[in-house]
Amino acid sequence: MEQNVPHKDGANSKTQVMRLTEIGIALSAELNLDALLEKIVHHARELTDADAGTLYLLAGDCLHFKILQNASLDIFQGGTTGRQIDLKPVPLDRANVSAYAALEQKTVNIEDVYESEEFDFSGPRRYDSVTGYRSKSMLVVPMKNHEGNIIGVLQLMNSVDPQTGEVIRFHDEVVGLTEALASQAAVAITNASLIEETKALFESLIRVMATAIDAKSLYTGNHIERVALLNLFLARAINEKTEGPLAGVQFSEKELEEIRLAGWLHDVGKITTPEWVMDKATKLQAIYDRIGLIRMRYAFIKESVKACSPRSDQCGKVQETSTTGDEELPARLDELDQEIQFLEQCNKPSEFLDDEKLARLGQIAQKTFEFESETHARLTENELYNLSIRKGSLTSEEIQVMKDHVVETRKMLSQIPFKGHLKNVPLYAAQHHEKLNGTGYPDGLHEQDIPIQSRILAVADFYEALVAKDRPYKKPMPLEVAFSILRKAAQNGEIDSDILDILIEDKVYERLEKGKEG
């Protein structure tokens, strides 16, 4: 937006009414509230040849400064300028002309504020003494929306005669135009505010869903937030590329918002995933870690073995130990200790089980002991099944339960009427486990069917899962190890290698540690 107000050229300019219509159309099309407020003051100054303008919005019992423009002093504050207005709000006191206009819902047109005794103009005079400015003519117009409510005040200062450059009174013909502009502006502000409030409400609902997952599983909540950030950072990094295979890809601000929200919602389906599956820290964990039961079982077996020694007066009935002699006792107890240590090691998800370890598990499971005249296996079928997981902590059935969260995500998000530039949020969110080679889930899509937005999310999700430091079932993974796993996945056609290159080579992962969307 140009900051200096151009003077009218009578021969070439359109009529003021036509210009007002154009301004109204422009204002109604602007949905960014800060930009809208800035345009209102700019166009009002342009329409009235005003050198300066201020826009206040009503909040509570005060008028709050939102826009401050002064062409002569080259001061432009508020709105999209990034420069804050360091002035206190104006209380609703009729002695102040802006407050009077709001309270009485009347336009005030003053030829010279230094000669007026109707209102307290000590504020403008102090401003003039500090800046060297000379406040003179003033037009103050209340801004009333379509419901008849005053939402703010538009204040214009020093109308300049285009021919002479002299500061003159605001002419009556521009007062009516300014009132019409103020009315249009009030409606546009109300609409933009409602849109921002709706967006804020929608954003809050998304955060509420993430918070609900966070309450259920802290690390999952952290994962969602970090993936949402990295998803956005990757998309922005792609926008920055000027060479390479992704140099031609550009995401608009609206598309970036869609990508960001897909990141926030990609794991919302986990709210239906049982906590004991989602947070399964060991292979035997259910409501509690059942390795404790096995320890108790082995403690009983050891005591029974001791009871069967020749020096004992009692003999617990433990199979294969009824003839244990004193010289065999230490070896038998040591064997039991080694077995329980082995089972404890197998219970850790970080322990990869090769064929030799699986065979040993099977041998232990075949051993029995007797309790209350009944024979029991040292390991139950379910314990053996869980301990035999080669990698990680989940059984194949539990992995399927985890996979189903994507289906639930799609199902849940399909109930939300995403419209316009957000219409693809459910699609991207539900595709973050699809793989380019067709081995992903839930639909087994191939490369040509997976949009780049979904591919970005897949890389962000995969990377964060590898390097996460708060997972109960694994230790933090060094970056180089994570990069090696990711590169292998890219070579196998699981994730997009071009996006992965941007993550690693452009060090986008470092932005994640700063943890800011801006």
Q: Which domains does the chain have, with CATH numbers?
A: 16-195 (3.30.450.40), 217-275+397-514 (1.10.3210.10), 291-393 (no CATH)
pLDDT in tens, 464-513: 989 988 776 667 789 999 999 999 999 999 999 999 999 999 999 999 87
* pLDDT tens digits, one per residue of 49-83: 999 999 999 999 999 999 999 999 999 999 999 99
Question: Can you tell me whether residue 5 is helix, strand or coil?
Answer: coil
Mean pLDDT over 141-164 rounds to 92
Which pair of tokens denotes residue 193? 């505010």
- Strands, E assignment, 82-210: 90-91, 108-110, 138-144, 150-160, 167-168
Residue 177, pLDDT > 70, answer yes
Average pLDDT over residues 150-167: 94
Q: Round to whole Å and give the CA distance between 19 and 96.
A: 31
Residue 13 has pLDDT above 50, yes or no: no
Q: Which one, of 486, 480, 462, 492, lies nearest residue 230 by Cα?
A: 462
Listed residue (115, 177, 173) closest to 141, CA to CA: 177
Give the residue-averaged pLDDT of 434-459. 96
Sign of CA dihedral 85, 91, 97, 99: positive
pLDDT at 100 over 50: yes
Residue 472 is predicted with a pLDDT of 66
Average pLDDT, the chain: 87
Would the pLDDT of 17 be above 90? Answer: no
d(CA 182, CA 342) in angstroms, rounded, equals 79
- Phi and psi at residue 62, in whole multiples of 5°? -140, 155
Is pLDDT of 518 > 50? Answer: no
pLDDT above 70: residue 33? yes
pLDDT at 31: 75
Tens of pLDDT, residue by residue over 245-302, are 999 899 999 999 999 999 999 988 888 888 778 778 899 988 789 999 999 999 999 9
For residues 205 and 199, give the distance between their C-alpha atoms in angstroms, rounded to a whole number.
10
d(CA 168, CA 110): 10
pLDDT tens digits, one per residue of 217-239? 656 668 888 999 999 999 999 99
Which pLDDT band, with edges at 50, 70 and 90, does 1 fall under? very low
Give the type of residue at 5. V
> Residue 72: its pLDDT value, please?
95
Q: pLDDT value at position 310?
A: 55
- Sign, Cα dihedral of 286, 289, 291, 295: negative
pLDDT at position 309: 64
**Three-state helix/strand/coil letters over 163-198:** CCCCEECCCHHHHHHHHHHHHHHHHHHHHHHHHHHH
Picking from 348, 354, 355, 356, the residue whose alpha carbon sits closest to that of residue 386 is 348
Rounded-to-integer distance, Cα 162 and Cα 311, Å: 118
Provide Rg for the chain, Cα atoms.
36
CA distance 406 to 268: 8
pLDDT confidence tier of residue 14, bands split at 50, 70 and 90: low
pLDDT confidence of residue 67: 96
Q: Do 111 and 137 contact (CB within 8 A), yes or no?
A: yes
What Å distances lie between residue 504 and 199, 501, 508, 515, CA to CA?
33, 5, 7, 17
pLDDT for res 7: 45
pLDDT for res 515: 64
Task: Give the chain's length.
Answer: 518
pLDDT > 60? residue 163: yes
C-alpha angle 188-189-193 in degrees, rounded to nearest 5: 120
Q: What integer pLDDT is reported at residue 517 of this predicted model?
A: 52
- Name the percent of the chain lying above pLDDT 70: 89
Residues 342-390 pLDDT 10s? 999 999 987 789 999 999 999 999 999 988 889 999 999 999 999 999 9
Model confidence at 198, pLDDT cuts 50, 70, 90, reads confident
pLDDT at 455 exceeding the cut of 50: yes
Q: Which residue has the higher pLDDT, 243 or 516?
A: 243
For residue 9, pLDDT over 90 is answered with: no
What pLDDT does 277 receive? 81
> What is the structure's pLDDT at 425?
93
Measured CA distances, 252 to 203, 256, 391, 452 (Å): 19, 6, 42, 14
Sort 304 into a burial class: Cβ within 10 Å, 0-12 / 13-18 / 19+. Answer: buried
CA-closest candidate to residue 41, choices 1, 83, 96 = 1
Cis preceding linkage at 442, omega within 30: yes
The label of the residue with tokens 């009516």 reads 176
Residue among 280, 288, 294 at smallest CA distance from 345: 294
